Amino acid sequence: MVAKSISLLPWLQNYISFLFFSFTTIFFLLSILLLLLRFWPWCNCHVCKAFLSSSWTAEFTNLSDWYTHLLRRSPTGTINIHVLGNTVTANPDNVEYMLKTRFDNFPKGKPFSSLLGDLLGRGIFNVDGDSWQFQRKMASLELGSVSVRSYAFHIVTAEIRRRLIPLFASLSDGVIDLQDVFRRFAFDSICKISFGLYPGCLEASLPMSEFAAAFDTASRLSAKRGTAVAPALWKLKRLLNVGSERELKRAIRLVNVLADEVIRQRRELGSASSHDLLSRFMCSVNDDRYLRDIVISFLLAGRDTVASGLTTFFLVLSKHPAVTAAIREEIANVMRGSGDDDVASFEQLKKMHYVHAAMYESLRLYPPVQFDSKFCVEDDVLPDGTFVRKGTRVTYHPYAMGRMESIWGPDCEEFKPERWLHDGKFVPASPFKYPVFQGGLRVCLGKEMALMEMKAVIVSVVPRFDLRVLDTGRSLKFAPGLSASIDGGLPAQVRRRRSPAHGPC
C-alpha cells in the first residue's frame, strides 16, 4: 500500500504543478484584462462608435476622408475622437495657435516620442527641447547655405539626366509603377545629398533595397500604434515580442544595421566630400546611436515626402490635360534655345510660376504628411473655443484643410493651379492655412530643397513623356504609414513624345 502511494506521488506533484501554473496564468490574464478595462477610454458618441466598429468604412475608403467629412460638418472645424484622446482640427486659427502663439504648450511630447521612439529615436522629428534645437540649428545652417543648395541641385539634375530620363525612355509604350520609380529616385538623391553615398537603387535590374523595404514596414507599423485605442495593447505586444511588434522590431533592427553601415562608409570616405549633411553632423556628434537616429530622420524626410508628392502630382496631372498643356507651354517659353538634352537650370526653374502653382495645388489636395500631432502640456483653450485638457493629443489635418470650403471656397476639391497666381506670378498662402510644410518654429527646413527636387523632375519629364495613369476611376486608397503612399502603387503607361515642347529629345 505504501509502495502504491509512493508511485502516485510524482503524478500528484505534476497535477498540483499544473493546477498552480493554470491558476497563475489565469490570474495574470485577468489582471491584464482589468488593467486594460481600467484605462480603456469608453465613449458612446456616434463618432467613437463609428471608429471602434469601423462602420465609417462603408462610406469612406480612407480614414482621412472620414475625418474630412466630420471636420466639414463641425461649426468650429474641430472634432474630438474621445476613444483616442485626440482633438482634431482643420481651423487655421487653431493651427497658428499651436505652431506659433502657444508653441511651448504644444510640443511633440513624451507620448509621441513613445510611439515613434523605437524607429526615430532622438531624431529631429521625435524630440523637443535642447536635442531638437541642436539638430535644427545644424540643419538650418547647412540647408540654408548656397554651397549645399548648389550641391543638392547638381545631384538631382545628374540623377534626372543620367538615370530617370533614360529609365522612362527604355520603358516607352510599357507600364511602370510611378510610385516605385519616384521612391527609388528620391532614395538615391537623399542618400547622395545627405550622406555622400549612392545606393544605386534606381537601376531597372535591381529590386528595391532591403533598407527601403524595411523602412516601409517600420513606418507602417509605427503609424499603426498611433491608431490604437488602448496603447497598453501594443506595449504589451512589444513586451512579449509577438505579432506586429515582433515584425516591427525585426524591421527596425535591419534599418539600424544599414544606418550604421551608412555611418561606417561615410567615415571610410573621410572628409574629401564635406558637402553632405552627415559629414557636417559627424564633426559635432560622437555618439553613433545619435547619428543613426539623424540618418533615419533624414531618410524619412527626403525619400517618402518627395516620392509621395511626385506620385500624386502625376496622378492629378493625368486627369487634367489642359494643365499638362499649360505646363508644357511655360517650359517651352522659359527654356527656348536650350539644348535638346538639357534639364532646366536653377534660374530657369525659378521663372516657371505656373509649374510652381500646379505643384502647390497638388500638395494642397494630397499633402505627403496628411496630419501632424502635438500633446498639450497644460490645460488650454483653442481660438475656436475648444477646451484642451492637459495631456490631450491635438492633431491638425492638412489633408482635410485642403478640402475645406471655409478656407478655399466652394471649388476647394477642384485642381486649379490658377488659385495660386496673381498677374501671372506665384503667391503663397499663409502656412497656417496651408500647413503642408508645417509653420512657426518647426516649419520644414528641407522645404526649398524638396520643392526644387520635385520641380526639376516635373520640368524634365512632362515635356518628354506622356504618363497615362491606368484605372484612374478607381477609388484612391492610402496605405498606412508616416507619410501618404498609394496602396498598390500607381501603374502608368509611359509613352515618349515625338515633339517635346522645347525641342526633340
What is the reported pLDDT for 293?
85
Query: Mean pLDDT throughout 46-72?
Result: 93
Per-residue pLDDT at 505: 39
The mean-pLDDT minimum among 99-113, 169-183, 274-288, 350-364 falls in 274-288
Going by pLDDT thresholds of 50, 70 and 90, the confidence category of residue 40 is low
β-pairing, 478-479 vs 421-422, is: unpaired
Distance between CA atoms of residues 473 and 162, nearest Å: 34
Query: Quick one: average pLDDT of 267-291?
Result: 74
All three cell numbers of 299, joined, read 531618410
Residue 1: per-residue pLDDT:
53
Which is the CATH superfamily of the domain at 50-496? Cytochrome P450 (1.10.630.10)
Quote the pLDDT of residue 272.
52
Mean pLDDT across the chain? 84
**Rounded to 10 degrees, what is the CA torsion of 289, 292, 296, 302?**
140
With pLDDT > 90 as the criterion, what percentage of the chain qualifies? 46
Phi, psi of 288 (to 5 degrees): -65, -30
**Do 494 and 465 touch, CB atoms closer than 8 A?**
yes
C-alpha cell at 177: 509603377
Question: What single string gives the DSSP state of each residue in 430-494?
Answer: PTTTSTBTB-GGG--TTHHHHHHHHHHHHHHHTTTEEEEES-TTSPP-EESSSS-EETT--EEEE
What are the tens digits of pLDDT across the range 73-105?
999 999 999 988 899 999 999 999 999 999 999
pLDDT in tens, 210-221: 777 888 888 888
Q: Per-residue pLDDT tens for 400-411? A: 999 999 999 999
Domain parsing of the chain, residue ranges: 50-496
Query: Would the pLDDT of 17 be above 90?
Result: no
Confidence (pLDDT) at 142: 66
The answer to whether 444 is annotated as binding is: yes
Q: What is the pTM of this model?
A: 0.85
Of the candidate ranges 20-24, 101-105, 169-173, the one whose mean pLDDT is the lowest:
20-24
Query: Rounded mean pLDDT of 2-14?
Result: 58
Q: What is the pLDDT of residue 37?
A: 47
**Is residue 140 pLDDT above 80, yes or no?**
no
239-259 in b/e burial notation, b at 16+ Cβ within 10 A?
Answer: eeeeeebeebeebbebbbebb
Distance CA 304, CA 450 (A): 11
